[in-house]
Amino acid sequence: MKGGFRQSMAWLHTWTGLLLGWLLFAIFVTGTSAYFQEEITRWMTPEVRSVPSDPASGFVAATEWLKREAPGGSEWSIYSTGKRAAGLQLYWVNGPDAPADAPTSARLDGTGTKVFARETLGGWFLYRFHYDLHYINWYWARWLVGIAAMAMLVAILSGIVTHKKILTDFFLLRLGKGQRSWLDAHNASSVLFLPFILMITYTGLVSLATHYMPWGIAANYANQGKFFEAAFPWPVPAEKAGPAPLAPIGPIVERAERMWGTAAGSVRILNPGDRTARVIVSGAPDAGMSVRLRSMTFDGVTGRPVDAHDPSGAATATEGTMIGLHAGRFASPLLRTLYFMSGLAGCVMVASGLILWTVKRRAKLPDPDRPHFGFRLVEKLNIAAIAGLPFGMAAYFLANRLLPLGIAGRSEREIDTMFIAWGAVAIWALARPARRAWPEALSATALAFASVPLVNALTTDRSLVASLAAGDSLFAMFDGVMLVLAAGFGWAALKVARRRDREAASRGSPMRAIAGAEAA
């Protein structure tokens, strides 16, 4: 104990927040962007223009397309991620007579017309990165993310204990006061959005509970695969018995939707055109708060229901609802915007906490002009994380427009571009004095975000002006957000540079200039 319970909690809050803060910042930034992952994917696939207003008609059109293009397939799958999705994604399993290189997937627009969209993982990659990371095995990545989330929970609870004036901090924000301003920003963002930050951290842990605590499964199932078969059934095609016409898909989907009172999200057809055909209709992922989807199985010849899967048990419903709260797929546009703004507050909380660590300790150093290695390392990592990751994300969007459309492994090259750009900022931060690296990295990030609408206008026919004229709100809003981000980072770079120059001129010390930059 360091001088008492509250002091011990302050120590715990500081060090749990610092040691995993850079990873937490990346998780918060990419997780926050994922609340608009479908919109990001639609921007990154400009070739797809039509979004079906009636999912049932889209499934009918997709089934007719599969009858023409994959008539001998043993399985057809049609997916829509909800009313925000860019068209429909189709997959199928070819029959034994099909060539080895025959296609097995396609993208259709809302009218059932195939579109040749560029290869990209779009917003889905940012969503997966925030809990699977990249370039490392997913198993260990989820453990790293889980440890970071647990550290976040510890930091939140210890921070609550540490706060003496939590209600005052709710209203207090003093600008231009150096360390006091950073502390106010950290307190205000954490206190004002405390319910959301607690919820999002705890439910994030719940979403991977079976990964972190598999003992309940081990105690009841000899093989973990048996548990997942029971919890998430996935029927396979039966032996074929002879040709028979496939029942109309429209009435089948409509019947399932009437039973649930919500929209369908996918249709899976086993052995189409055979007497053993089965049609499995599942709910849309944005149709309700729970992520555990209901499904109905129909006879593919008569169209009669033969089975239903409804994960409505108390434990399953609780787990599914908590994960649904975390993912926010059920949210209306307004609620999703509130999710996004709350996520941004979480990013501010983590970033301000990291910077506050260096601001508070600089004046206490024996020689502020020559800080020790650990202090310099934290300072450099702050620049690499807080400016580097946004720069990498801007590069990810630019790569989507600039990479050749037919290049092999295009989606992975987009991702590689993001990490190369992020790494470049990290190397720059290590090589440059901190007082110069901060404004330079922030300026580069501002320029990168400002370039996104320009490059989009030069490489597609869906520029900001064209989108506004056509009433294309999604593309116009995306470009607008890029410009707002560019303005924000540009303003921060200018403020840091001016404060740095003013401090350097008045005190004549380069390390004092860094303190001025941090204060800005």
Domain boundaries in the chain?
1-45+120-231, 55-118+233-319, 363-520
Q: What pLDDT does residue 164 have?
A: 67
Among 236, 239, 243, which Cα is nearest to 72's?
243
Sign of CA dihedral 499, 501, 505, 507: positive
Question: Across the chain, how many H-helices and E-strands are there?
Answer: 22, 8
- How many CA atoms lie less than 13 Å away from 78 in the CB half-sphere? 30
Q: What pLDDT does residue 412 have?
A: 97
**pTM score of the predicted model:** 0.89
- 457: buried, middle or exposed (CB in 10 Å: 19+, 13-18, 0-12)? middle
Supply 252's token pair. Answer: 């089948």
449 CB-near residues (< 8 Å, 6+ apart):
390, 394, 482, 483, 485, 486, 489
Q: First and final CA of the chain: distance in angstroms?
A: 35
Q: What residue has token string 């989330």?
A: 149
Give the DSSP per-residue string, 211-240: HH-THHHHHH-SSHHHHHHHHS--------
Give me the tens of pLDDT residue by residue for the chain, a chain 520 residues long: 556 777 888 888 888 888 999 999 999 999 999 999 999 999 999 988 766 556 678 899 899 999 999 888 899 999 986 667 767 889 999 988 888 888 899 988 867 788 888 999 999 999 999 999 999 999 999 999 999 999 999 998 888 887 766 566 555 555 555 555 656 666 777 778 889 999 999 999 999 998 999 888 888 888 888 888 888 888 889 998 999 999 999 999 999 999 998 889 899 999 999 999 999 999 988 888 888 889 999 999 999 999 998 887 888 889 899 999 999 999 999 999 999 999 998 998 899 889 888 878 777 777 766 778 888 899 999 999 999 999 999 999 999 999 999 899 999 999 999 999 999 999 999 999 888 999 999 999 999 999 999 999 999 999 999 999 999 899 999 999 999 999 999 999 998 888 766 666 655 555 554 555 555 5
Question: What burial letters (b/e) apply to 228-243, b meaning 16+ CB within 10 Å?
Answer: eeeeeeeeebeeeeee
Q: CA 410, CA 402: separation in Å to the nearest integer?
A: 11
Supply 239's token pair. Answer: 């032996």
Supply 423's token pair. Answer: 């790494």
Q: What pLDDT does residue 119 have?
A: 92
